Amino acid sequence: MMEQVEALVTSYDAGRLSRRQLLQALALFVARGAAQAPGAGLMQGRMLHHVNVRVSDVTRSEAFYRRMFGFPATRRVQGPDNHGFDLAGGGLLILQRSEQPGRIDHFCIGVGDFDADRLRAAVKGAGIQGVVGTASDNFFVTDPDGLRVQVSATDWPG
């Protein structure tokens, strides 16, 4: 499965996939992962919690996404330059002001039975590099291609 996710991200970076196509594919992987038997991985991914998309102009991007999808107004999340759309089916799309727009900064997977210290130790114990963060409610890992993946509880406010 990770090879498929890596191929999707590579296709997105090369411009062969739109953001929408990438998000749909990632959501499908999460849904498939949630259907797997418990114990199949280091933790049980339950949902695509949020995706941070880098944009050059938050106001302009907010207007675009509101017009395209009929989203309500965004709310400020994680700082003054980040605005998020709460999606009706769950999850959050965050527009993040950046000097390097047009890329995904990171995505967050909400996991079941979340205990940051226990899960960080399990990830490190499995030899996965790039574990970052000491917070009790989330942490980051880096995938083999350098994409940041955040891990949190499914009910984390973001």
2-37+44-153 folds as: 2,3-Dihydroxybiphenyl 1,2-Dioxygenase; domain 1 (3.10.180)
- Triad 145, 130, 14: Cα angle to 5°: 15
Question: What is the pTM (predicted TM-score) of this model?
Answer: 0.70
| Burial degree of 157 (CB within 10 A; 0-12, 13-18, 19+) | exposed
| Burial degree of 89 (CB within 10 A; 0-12, 13-18, 19+) | exposed
pLDDT tens for each residue of 1-60: 566 677 777 878 888 778 777 777 777 666 555 444 455 678 888 888 999 999 999 999
Domain boundaries, the chain: 2-37+44-153
